[in-house]
Amino acid sequence: MSYFRAVDPFPLESPDFTKLHEFYARLGQGRLSTTRCARCGRVAWPPRGFCPECGSDEFAWADLPDEGTVHAFTRQDTGLPAGFAGPRVFAVVVVGPHRIFTVLVDADPDRLTIGQRVRLTPLAVAADHQGHPRWLPAFTPSA
């Protein structure tokens, strides 16, 4: 079976396709990071290939905390993408000065609360067509 990128529901994380591949490599190491503009110093979320403030395309990587707090969340029981079991909990998590839209794993939606602490737990998704692992940012409620 050949790999058909047009229907791939996950971002292309290879250095062949994006200069933001370092984000995914770091995520695979359990590190959440984003871009910092080399010209004006703005830290952007999500990571960007150019600065929305000054337009520069020169950036460095900045690590973010691996913990945050739930700002908002919703539960999805039906209409989930293929390969995702329900119920799925989607959340806005505050990490440092950033609000990150993400999925919460191992989260009981009936026990989840606004302000609850969560910890980064990168979610492994389907490997790319060459068998390289791929990751999405996800969080788990702290104990």
Same domain, 50 and 86: no
Would you say residue 4 lies in a domain?
no
Based on the domain organization, do 51 and 32 belong to the same domain?
Answer: yes
Q: Which pLDDT does position 2 carry in this prediction?
A: 43
Is residue 3 assigned to a domain?
A: no
Confidence of residue 10 (pLDDT cuts 50, 70, 90): low
- Nearest Cα residue to 33 out of 41, 13, 24: 24
How far is Cα 38 from Cα 57, in angstroms, rounded to an integer? Answer: 8
Residue 80 lies in a domain: yes
Task: Identify the pLDDT of residue 58.
Answer: 95
**76 and 27 in one domain?**
no
Q: Are residues 73 and 46 in the same domain?
A: no
Range of the domain at 101: 65-143
Residue 42 near residue 52, CB atoms below 8 Å: yes
Give per-residue pLDDT as tens, 90-127. Answer: 999 999 999 999 999 999 999 999 999 999 999 988 78
Residue 95 has phi, psi (to 5 degrees) of: -125, 110
Indicate the pTM of the whole model.
0.86
pLDDT above 80: residue 85: no
Shared domain for 57 and 72, answered yes or no, is: no
Residues 53 and 19 in one domain: yes
Average pLDDT score, the chain? 88
Shared domain check, 82 and 27: no
